Amino acid sequence: MESLINHIAVAGETLFQVKWEAKQIQFQETRKEFEGDTTLVVFPLAKVAGKNPEELGNALGAYLQENVDFVESFNVVKGFLNIRFSDHYWLTALEQMRSAESWGWATPNSKPRIMVEYSSPNTNKPLHLGHLRNNFLGYAVAELLKANGHTVTKVQIINDRGIHICKSMWAWKNLGNGETPQSSGMKGDKLVGKYYVEFDKTYKSQITDLMSQGKTKEEAESHAPCMMQAQDMLRAWEAGDEGVVNLWKTMNQWVYEGFNATYQKMGVDFDQLYFESQTYLKGRNEVMKGLENGVFFQKEDGSIWIDLTDEGLDQKALLRKDGTAMYITQDIGTAILRFEDYPDTVSQIYTVGNEQEYHFKVLFKVLKKLGWPQSEACHHLSYGMVELPEGKMKSREGTVVDADDLMEEMYNAAKEVSEEQGKLSGLEDQEKVEVYEKIGMAALKYFLLRVDPKKNMMFNPQESIDFNGNTGPFIQYGYVRTQAIKRKAAEVGIVISDKKTKTLHVSERELIKLLYQYPVILQSAAALYDPSVVANYAYEVVRQFNAFYQNCSILREEDEAARSLRLELCALTGDCVQRSMSILGVQMPDRM
């Protein structure tokens, strides 16, 4: 493209006696209904030259065709010059891809460290569908940054303190009769979540009773015995009460064991764990230091605030009047602790829902005022909510879609659809089980990641498992086809020879063109922190490969040079798709 830009600049001086600036030479993707490999926007150039856009486009196209060896032909549509490159150009591109060790991926650890936070659950309930989107998104962004050469540290902050934790503790203590994961046969996180729901039922019942006695709704909510006792528990925990702390440790351990089993099934991992019960203390200390240094101010009631009105934000409380920590307090402590633990970190990426956008604007401003310049590069990876056809989910009412249950449902759906379509006939039973798991998780992960993170989305399990749509299983099936061709070639003794073809079928050309875009796709996706760019690219690659497969004979091709080129394309396609899907955390089966 640099060569093409230089030739266009020379053409401006030669043909029209004008000097076009580089920023005026703008390219865009050629629309599918027109022939061409790239499109030059002629309007800015015509304006400078004082020429009719269509006439200038034709004159410029003819000049490029005559003077640039890789420009084969052109056509002009109004103010757009569509340029078609020669087969030699694309064959050279193919050779460049084939000779690269990992086409598109940057040298590992060649760029600065970025920390990516995701998951960050509360220890009062099991993980649900919303957590699946969060985990898959955070993991994919981390892997995407790795593919672009960054050193990446994956972290989570476990929200293991606060009134929500004490609600589950109160319910278990008063309603649980000593029930444990072992005695109940329930995963620990589900058992604790059960008592979170029980607390809400008790709380609502007590509110109703108090209102029937003449209390207002607000009075009933604040004087409900279970809520008052849960608040007493929280104060006792912060004071270090041995009995309360021991119960807190026991129930949290149940949850951690449950979480770990779910994470393993999800296929996500973490390099470092942080706990709110530890970081809130550091946050409180940092706020007090900021007060001493005049960064923050204290109101008459003793609460500590920051004034961000000059930044276009509001005043924000950082510590309550009684000195207790707030949500932002622990985030301040966690961020600073991470910068101290990993001093080469240039940025922290927070994978958190879009309802917290204002919170992170404030957090980054606070960190900057506390003297952490890395905060300017920090990023809130804001994402929309996941909904179901039946509506929104509510944890306290027990109406969430449990992550474990959904992953099991996806396995069963994969098994049912695969058996109906005869996809896995000929495989051993254990092989089938492994492939069902890969198909089910591919369906789930791809469906949640193919959408721009910023958008709300509707999750449809049946649509996600379709082998013919824009789905994970469709991409897996395309990948399996590339592997089957490679195996068959090896079985019959066909190898890639040194003979090189000089002409390309249109389907070969289009596939090479798409594969050649891979580095730009990865760079663009990383710049946007958007794995959906990679997801939809993988889908397009498989669609184009299927067209190539339908239009071009491969193993039966008699021309050795053409056959070798097509085998190379199979190998490159399989490699590109496999590495793209690995960024999304999707495992690819070799047979289906």
Question: What is the per-residue pLDDT across 300-323, written as a single tens digit (0 to 9) for each?
Answer: 999 999 999 999 999 999 999 988
| Residue 63 to residue 83: CA distance in whole angstroms | 12
Judge contact between 255 and 192, C-beta under 8 A: yes
Q: For 527-548, b where at least 16 C-beta lie within 10 A, e where not — what string?
A: eebbbbbbbbbbbebbebbbeb
Q: DSSP code of 325?
A: B
Strand (E) or helix (H) holding 74: strand 71-77
Q: For 424-460, b where at least 16 C-beta lie within 10 A, e where not — what string?
A: beebeeeebeebbbbbbbbbbbbbbbbbebeeebebe
Q: Which residues pair with 347 in a beta bridge?
A: 114
pLDDT band at 393 (very low <50, low <70, confident <90, very high): very low
> Quick one: pLDDT at residue 337?
97
Is domain 117-159+271-397 annotated with CATH 3.40.50.620?
yes
CATH 3.30.1360.70, the chain: domain bounds: 2-85
Is domain 403-583 annotated with CATH 1.10.730.10?
yes
CATH 1.10.730.10, the chain: domain bounds: 403-583
Sign of CA dihedral 223, 225, 227, 228: positive
SS3 581: helix
Q: Which two structure tokens, joined as six digits, stand for 480?
A: 């399996």
Number of other residues whose CB lies within 10 A of the CB of residue 340: 10
pLDDT band at 421 (very low <50, low <70, confident <90, very high): confident
Q: How far is CA 342 from CA 332, 374, 462, in A?
A: 16, 12, 43
| Residue 80 to residue 537: CA distance in whole angstroms | 25
Would you list the DSSP string of 208-269?
A: HHHHHTT--HHHHHHH-HHHHHHHHHHHHHHTT-HHHHHHHHHHHHHHHHHHHHHHHHHT--
Judge contact between 446 and 464, C-beta under 8 A: yes
pLDDT above 60: residue 128 = yes
| Residue 346 to residue 340: CA distance in whole angstroms | 12
Mean pLDDT confidence for 516-533: 98
| Residue 372 to residue 33: CA distance in whole angstroms | 51
Mean pLDDT confidence for 571-578: 98
pLDDT band at 419 (very low <50, low <70, confident <90, very high): confident
> Quick one: pLDDT at residue 392?
47
β-strands 26-28, 345-353 pairing: unpaired
Q: DSSP code of 557?
A: -
> Among 107-121, 302-316, 490-504, which stretch is predicted with the lowest mean pLDDT?
490-504
> Quick one: pLDDT at residue 472?
97
Q: How far is CA 183 from CA 51, 126, 199, 259, 309, in A?
A: 84, 18, 21, 19, 55
pLDDT above 60: residue 539 = yes
Is domain 2-85 annotated with CATH 3.30.70.141?
no
Pick from 501, 485, 480: nearest CA to 554: 485
CATH 3.40.50.620, the chain: domain bounds: 117-159+271-397
SS3 151: strand
> Among 137-146, 261-270, 444-453, 458-467, which stretch is predicted with the lowest mean pLDDT?
458-467
pLDDT band at 388 (very low <50, low <70, confident <90, very high): confident
Q: How far is CA 59 from CA 11, 22, 286, in A?
A: 9, 19, 66
With tokens 């569509």, the residue in question is: 82
In tens, the pLDDT along 312-353 reads 999 999 999 988 888 999 999 999 999 999 999 999 999 999
Instruction: Calculate what percentage of the chain has a pLDDT beyond 90.
Output: 87
Distance of CA 447 to the CA centre of its chain: 12
SS3 132: helix
